[in-house]
Amino acid sequence: MNIAVSAAGASLASPVFEEFSKTPFLLIVNVETMECTSIPHDKSGQGSQIALAEMILQHRCEALITGKLEEDVFKILADDHVTRFFGSGLSAEEALMAMERRKLKLIRNPEGTDECNENHHELEELQVCSGHQH
């Protein structure tokens, strides 16, 4: 299983970056082997955060550990069933361990609050979010 982490540096010792759109690196981590692929992020390009979100999908990541998410990126990831976790303040490695222990806060909407954004997907099947179905 692959997990994406927005990070300040190219290694698992790097802190989780506080804002996805400005992250210097995207780490793709195979949690079975802890093999880490580091992808530098060119923040100067138009739509670079969308390209990063698409890279997460291409690597078949089941989750993203990050800080703040922009609404367009949130929608891309939520629509493709990528779980979003808030890991700012931890190293990538610490955040991955906390995720495994279910200690990371879910990012339920682009604002980062605990409110579930019922418009974040338009699926025919029922989804469970924050304890309710919609």
Average pLDDT, the chain: 85
41: which 2 tokens?
Answer: 């992020």
Worst-scoring range by mean pLDDT, 28-37, 56-65, 66-75, 116-125? 116-125
Q: What pLDDT, in 10s, does the model give residues 19-44?
A: 999 999 999 999 999 999 999 998 76
3-class state of residue 62 by DSSP = strand
Domains and CATH numbers, the chain: 2-133 (3.30.420.130)
Helix residue ranges per DSSP H, 1-134:
48-58, 71-79, 92-100
With bands split at pLDDT 50, 70 and 90, how would you rate the model's confidence at 98?
very high
CB atoms within 10 A of CB 101: 8
**CB contact at 8 A, 63 and 98:** no
Q: What pLDDT, in 10s, does the model give residues 43-53?
A: 766 668 899 99
With CA atoms as reference, report the closest residue to 71 among 91, 49, 87. Answer: 49
In single-letter form, the type of residue at position 79 comes to D
Kindly state the DSSP code that residue 17 receives in the 8-state scheme: P
Q: What is the CA radius of gyration of the chain?
A: 14
What percentage of the chain's residues is helix, strand, coil (to nearest 5)? Answer: 25, 30, 45
